[in-house]
Amino acid sequence: MKQSLGVRLWRWTIISFVALYLLVPLYAMFDFSTKPFGFADKGRTFRAWTMIPSQPDLLAAISRSLITAAIVMALILFMIVPTAIWVHLKLPGLRRPFELLCLLPLAIPAIVIVVGIAPLYRWISINISESPITLAGVYSMLILPYTYRSLSAALDAVDIHTLAEAATTLGASISRVIFGIIMPTIKTGIVNGSFIAIALVLGEYTISNILNFKTFQVVIAQIGRQNGNVAVAVSLASLLLVIFLLLIIPTKKRQGAVLDVDIA
């Protein structure tokens, strides 16, 4: 059934506004990063971009933040996801309390969280490690509201009770049901939660700055105090990297082909 001209026009109008909303700030960042910031520069220059690799602590901060993101994603995969599945599957009466618990970090300001965890991280820095990777614990707590809502929507869209009963009838263990049957079914929700985790880890500033950890955003802020052009170039480069990672995710068609092969 063909759509009317008015519906198509309205759709493209919305897409155009969203595209402008997203692309105009990116263009503004690129425009600012290529402006001359020295007397020797004449017109547009990419000197800010060429100075990115020479920035102190930048590569180390990126690697530490990526490792922290990987740890947070592992915690999501092996702790948060099985817990959410178990609550939906076996403890439906606890769904509301569990959801309220997961949404609690949204109601607590970041500065209050820092005050609460500062003594703990002081002890961790003295007795275990001073690496920013230890922030994976508090980051896992901060992403609970977003991850749980993504997982909850995916679980509500699938009849997991029927899948679990069928698998149990065929002799599957509870671990097989959770990790081998239900989790592949809600792969989209898990992927969305994982990218939310990456975005939070790479974009969080308040907690890491107050606790004196040199994470990615803290290093960008330090670079910005010395050279705003380079800081904006680094920020834009990180955004382009994230967009590239999103674009290389397999499409639904490719995922379906993989699932067909696995089933066969």
| Residue 6 belongs to some domain of the structure | no
Residue 92 lies in a domain: yes
Domain annotation covers residue 14: no
Tell whether 253 is covered by a domain.
no
State how many domains the chain has.
1
DSSP code string of 107-131: HS-HHHHHHHHHHHHHHHHHHT---
Query: Residue 79: which CATH number?
Result: 1.10.3720.10
Model confidence at 3, pLDDT cuts 50, 70, 90, reads low
Residue whose structure tokens are 């834009």: 236
Question: Which of 123, 126, 121, 146 lies closest to 203, judged by CA?
Answer: 146
**Sorting pLDDT into bands at 50, 70 and 90, what band is 17?**
very high
Q: Tens of pLDDT along 88-133?
A: 888 888 888 888 888 888 888 878 888 888 888 888 888 888 888 8
**pLDDT at res. 38:** 62
Q: HSE on the CB side for 262, CA within 13 Å?
A: 10
Please say if the pLDDT value at position 260 is more than 80.
no
CA dihedral 197, 92, 104, 157 (to 10 degrees): 40
Fill in the DSSP letter of residue 182.
I
Residue 222 lies in a domain: yes
Q: Is the pTM of this model over 0.85?
A: no
211 located within any domain: yes
75, amino acid identity = L
52: in domain: no
- Quick check: 214 pLDDT over 70? yes
Q: Is 227 helix (H, G, I), strand (E, B) or coil?
A: coil
Per the prediction, the chain carries an average pLDDT of: 82
Instruction: Report the C-alpha gap between 20 and 26 in whole angstroms.
Output: 10
Mean pLDDT of 15-33: 89
Instruction: Report pLDDT for 101.
Output: 86
**Helix or strand (DSSP H, E) at 2:** none
In-domain check, residue 115 = yes
Tens-place pLDDT, residues 174-194 = 888 888 888 888 888 888 878
Rounded CA separation 174/192 (Å): 25
Tell me the residue range of the domain where 135 lies: 57-226
User: Is it the case that residue 263 has pLDDT exceeding 50?
Assistant: no
